[in-house]
Amino acid sequence: MAQEENYIAIVSQRLSKPGDTRYVIIDKQTQQEVDTCNGRGYKSAQAAHKSFSFKTSQSNGYGNGKKTT
């Protein structure tokens, strides 16, 4: 399972447009994007954290903690 404290949601300058801010999850140590919502970005930091947490949870059988972009 991913250590959630090692990841943070930030505003993506690449995916955001005026009036439409988009967030991605990055690894704090490497600064590499690890979840971009299939290249669209998330509408809020909370949504990004919630989705990433779900995707990396071992109990749901969906994710395995690997890169999900």
Closest CA to 9 of 68, 52, 66, 58: 52
Measured from the Cβ of residue 46, the count of other Cβ atoms closer than 10 Å reads 11
Q: What's the pLDDT at 40?
A: 97
Q: Where are the domains of the chain?
A: 4-58
Q: Is the pTM of this model over 0.75?
A: yes
Task: pLDDT band for 1, please (50, 70, 90 cuts).
Answer: very low
Q: What's the pLDDT at 62?
A: 53
The predicted-structure confidence for 4-63, as pLDDT tens digits, reads as follows 689 999 999 999 999 999 999 999 999 999 999 999 999 999 999 999 999 888 655 555
For residue 51, the surrounding DSSP H or E stretch is helix 45-55
